[in-house]
């Protein structure tokens, strides 16, 4: 079992711990719904140090990344981040990641915890020229402060000028003598920040955020709330909405696939293979919760499967994301839960969008 | 508590009013309960068999019958307010049965608590 630097803090806070991708992680503190609402209405603090961080440096770092990703970073400016997929030769999804650009010869890839090892091997195998690779996951703490009041809490600790203003931008201020990376990103559908730093400094920042956050209704949040928040925001999760065998063009993330780029791994497959499936949102009309792998039907046939599902705390009804045949055009579908077919309405993603 | 007898799988049976529910320990373990699937009036319970499902945000759990008998009432309030189980698990009964067959092997509250601590 692996542990994040905040493991002792979690135990002291009374977290319920679970094993997740080899790490002992908090699934909840006071309760998933309470934590969920805290993020939607005030702010919540997450330890997401299990995520992987891979550094790429050197003159050919750019070429290496362009070759690895489906999106295009040729227009990406310094101190900006971009969401992308990494595809394999068959067009399947190796991972969905965020690329941070410090400058022309220095980048960081933030990858899913479950994929860190696989991605590290994948990237190393595809290094071009003088590109250098370093896996800094183990020495990097990652804290996410999310919610409408996240900025107010951050301002209590950091200088306003050190905080990134635009969504998907980041800063690299020094904090007590060390460089930290602060990005305006998150996985909740709210405004928020993610802070990358050394494990030791992470503890200090974590404690200070909790202390200053008291006046703002900050709650400690676990993976449970992270999952319900991302689902409401219609955000895909690797292992649910996609995996190595899911065609990257079948998950409604086409904004992150630039087939007009001269070359990238998987381009040929993604250009030539017609997608057979699409990702849709479902709002359950009948009572019940459809979870991953529940079968989806139209009036006559099986048309797909649920990839993620939960009760939406914000909306107050059950929601699900499903992978269905691309020509499914019914407004009402059925999900099979314990041998019963529950009626569901097809709704646009995201389920929830902040005002 | 003296009227309650338990299954080691965390269900209670109230000998006084023939209601069935889940324990406080169970609701804590489940976390926020967001959906309860109950049987219908007239359904026959068989001791040890699953008769209901309780879903928390994270997972679904089967609920087993501590006694055999016929369902004569279901707590419909739980369909709209499943969180009542989190608020007071020993008051939030799921169903009521008639002519229950209560076996000797059900646990007293004290003995049930011991099984949790083990």
Tens digits of residue pLDDT in A160-198: 999 999 999 999 999 999 999 999 999 999 999 999 999
CB contact under 8 A, B35 and A311: yes
pLDDT, one tens digit per residue, over B84-99 is 999 999 999 999 999 9
Inter-chain contact A311–B55, Cβ cutoff 8 Å? yes
pLDDT for the residue numbered A326:
98
Find the residue in B nearest to A310 (Cα): B57
Q: How close, in Å, is residue B27 to chain A by CA atoms?
A: 12
pLDDT score recorded for residue A134: 98
Question: How large is the average pLDDT for residues A323-348?
Answer: 97
Contact A318/B35, CB-based, under 8 Å? Answer: yes
Segment A130-159, tens digit of pLDDT: 999 999 999 999 999 999 999 999 999 999
Q: Find the closest chain B residue to A224 by CA distance.
A: B58
Nearest C-alpha in A relative to B31: A31
* Closest residue to A32, CB basis, from B31, B53, B79: B31
Model confidence band, residue B2 (pLDDT cutoffs 50, 70, 90): confident
CA–CA distance, A106 with A88 (Å, rounded to integer)? 24
| CB–CB contacts below 8 A, A to B | 39
Which residue ranges form the domains of chain B, and what is each CATH number? 4-113 (2.40.50.100)
Average pLDDT, chain A: 97
Nearest Cβ partner of B57 from A287, A311, A338? A311
Whether pLDDT at B118 is above 80: no
Q: Identify from A311, A314, A315, A316 which residue to disrupt to test chain B contact, counting B C-beta atoms within 10 A and taking the largest count.
A: A311
Instruction: Give the pLDDT of residue A117.
Output: 98
What ipTM was reported for this prediction?
Answer: 0.86
- Contact with chain A for residue B79, Cβ under 8 A: yes
- How confident is the model at residue A7, as a pLDDT? 98
Question: Confidence class of residue A355 from pLDDT cuts 50, 70 and 90?
Answer: confident
A311 chain-B contacts, CB cut-off 8 A? 34-35, 55, 57
> Is the confidence at residue B117, as pLDDT, over 90?
no
Asked if pLDDT for residue A121 goes beyond 90, the answer is yes
B35 touches chain A (CB under 8 A): yes
Q: Tens digit of pLDDT for each residue in A239-296?
A: 999 999 999 999 999 999 999 999 999 999 999 999 999 999 999 999 999 999 999 9
pLDDT band for position B68 (50/70/90)? very high
pLDDT in tens, A32-66: 999 999 999 999 999 999 999 999 999 999 999 99
Residue of B nearest to A338 (CA): B53
A32 contacts B58? CB cut-off 8 A: yes
Residues from chain A contacting residue B60 (CB–CB below 8 Å): 289, 291
pLDDT at B106 over 80: yes
Best residue in A15, A27, A29, A32 for a mutation probing chain B (most B CBs within 10 Å) = A32
Does B55 touch chain A if contact means CB atoms closer than 8 Å? yes
In B, minimum Cα distance to A287 occurs at B35
């Amino acid at each position: 079992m692996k542990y994040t630097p905040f493991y002792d803090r979690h135990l002291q806070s009374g977290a319920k711990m679970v094993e997740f991708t080899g790490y002992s992680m908090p699934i909840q503190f006071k309760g998933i719904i309470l934590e969920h609402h805290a993020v939607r209405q005030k702010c919540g603090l997450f330890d997401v140090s299990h995520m992987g961080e891979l550094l790429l440096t050197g003159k050919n770092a750019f070429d290496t990344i362009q070759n690895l990703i489906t999106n295009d970073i040729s227009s990406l400016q310094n101190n900006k981040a971009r969401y992308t997929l990494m595809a394999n030769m068959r067009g399947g999804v190796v991972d969905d990641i965020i690329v941070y650009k410090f400058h022309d010869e220095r980048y960081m890839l933030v990858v899913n915890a479950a994929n860190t090892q696989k991605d590290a091997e994948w990237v190393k195998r595809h290094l071009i020229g003088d590109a250098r690779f370093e896996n800094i996951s183990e020495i990097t703490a990652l804290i996410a402060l999310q919610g409408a009041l996240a900025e107010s809490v951050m301002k209590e600790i950091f200088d306003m000028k050190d905080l990134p203003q635009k969504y998907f931008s980041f800063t690299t201020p020094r904090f007590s003598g060390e460089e930290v990376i602060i990005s305006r990103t998150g996985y909740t559908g709210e405004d928020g920040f993610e802070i990358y730093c050394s494990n030791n400094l992470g503890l200090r920042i974590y404690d200070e955020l909790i202390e200053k956050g008291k006046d703002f209704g900050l709650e400690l949040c676990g993976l449970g709330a992270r999952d319900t928040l991302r689902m409401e925001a219609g955000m895909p999760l690797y292992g649910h909405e996609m995996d190595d065998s899911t065609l990257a063009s079948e998950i409604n993330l086409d904004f992150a696939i630039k087939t007009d780029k001269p070359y990238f791994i998987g381009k040929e497959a993604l250009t030539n293979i017609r997608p057979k499936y699409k990702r849709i949102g479902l709002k359950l009309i009948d009572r019940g919760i459809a979870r991953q792998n529940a079968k989806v039907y139209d009036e006559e046939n099986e048309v797909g499967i649920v990839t993620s599902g939960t009760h939406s705390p914000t909306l107050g009804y059950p929601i699900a994301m499903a992978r269905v045949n691309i020509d499914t055009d019914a407004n009402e579908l059925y999900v099979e839960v314990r041998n019963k077919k529950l009626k569901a309405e097809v709704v646009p993603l995201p389920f929830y969008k902040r005002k | 508590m003296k009227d309650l007898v338990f299954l080691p799988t965390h269900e209670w049976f109230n000998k006084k009013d023939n209601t069935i529910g889940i324990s406080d320990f169970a609701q804590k373990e489940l976390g926020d309960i967001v959906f309860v699937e109950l049987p219908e009036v007239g359904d026959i319970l068989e001791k040890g068999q699953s008769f209901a499902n309780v879903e928390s945000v994270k997972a679904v759990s089967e609920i087993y019958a501590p006694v055999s008998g016929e369902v004569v009432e279901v707590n419909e309030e739980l369909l709209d307010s499943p969180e009542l189980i989190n608020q007071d698990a020993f008051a939030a009964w799921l169903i009521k049965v008639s002519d229950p067959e209560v076996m000797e092997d059900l646990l007293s509250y004290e003995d049930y608590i011991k099984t949790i601590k083990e």
